[in-house]
Amino acid sequence: MPIRKINFALEEFYHIYNRGCNKQEIFHDKQDYQRFVDLLYMSNRKEKFNFSDFPETRSMYELSNENPLVAIGAYTSMPNHFHILLKPLVKNGVSLFMHKLCIAYATYFNQKYKRTGTLFEGRFKAKHIDNDRYLKYVFSYIHLNILKLTPNIFGYTYSSLLDYCGEIRPQNKIINKKMFPEYFPTKKDFLEEINQWISYKDSLDPV
């Protein structure tokens, strides 16, 4: 198994991403997308959890998260890959969080589709964000990935875009804005940034 070339340091920012093995789809329907988004919240804790503890009458977002492993600043899930912007809050927080997230989702996916074997393409990938300009860029890059699927990015619910647009929803609790620079103090500031990138999206090269 290859050794990861990056060491995750507290108070630093990282762009995390991975895709399905052989570029296969890892989300087939709305239920798959929603499970992954829910796991972003449920996996971000030191304590163990079980989805069976949450019947339809109770939302998992009612459970407080007082001991998060990481702070999540942005995320999006696409048919065969995902992106997460995060900051570790405890030692080994990134690795612990990603292990819980990927194992939980792969277990769900394999059980649902009666398959076995690896779901993701090896270990998750990570890039250290080492300057302010790069960090602000990654916010836009992650959210504008949605353009690959639809021009109506504001109708896409499986990313953190709507959380920055001021929509009130349970998934607001996934994002920890206080742990990231206040690039977008208002909805207007965020929309101006996004629309500026949309106007010349061809220059928004992959990170």
- Name the pLDDT band for 2 (thresholds 50, 70, 90): very low
Tell whether the model's pLDDT for residue 102 goes beyond 90.
yes
The domain total for the chain is 1
Please report whether residue 92 resides in a domain: yes
For residue 126, is pLDDT > 50?
yes
Q: What is the pLDDT of residue 199?
A: 78
What are the φ and ψ backbone dihedral angles of 2, each rounded to 5 degrees?
-65, 150
Q: How far is CA 164 from the centre of its chain?
A: 14
Query: Is 2 within the bounds of a domain?
Result: no
For residue 4, being part of any structural domain is answered with: no
* 107 falls within a domain: yes
Is the separation of the CB atoms in 75 and 61 below 8 Å? Answer: no
Q: Domain for residue 172, yes or no?
A: yes
Confidence of residue 1 (pLDDT cuts 50, 70, 90): very low
CB 146 within 8 A of CB 156: yes
Mean per-residue pLDDT over the chain, rounded: 89
pLDDT for 58: 59
Q: Over range 16-22, report the average pLDDT.
A: 95
1 falls within a domain = no
Residues spanned by the domain of 182 = 13-203
Arithmetic mean of pLDDT, 34-58: 81
In a domain, 7, yes or no: no
Q: What is the pLDDT of residue 207?
A: 43
Beta strand extents in 1-93 (DSSP E only): 13-19, 70-78, 81-88
The CATH code of the domain that includes 190 is 3.30.70.1290
pLDDT score, position 61 = 85
Among residues of the chain, what percentage have pLDDT more than 90? Answer: 71
Whole-structure pTM value: 0.91
Q: Of 59, 40, 53, whose CA–CA distance to 100 is shortest?
A: 40
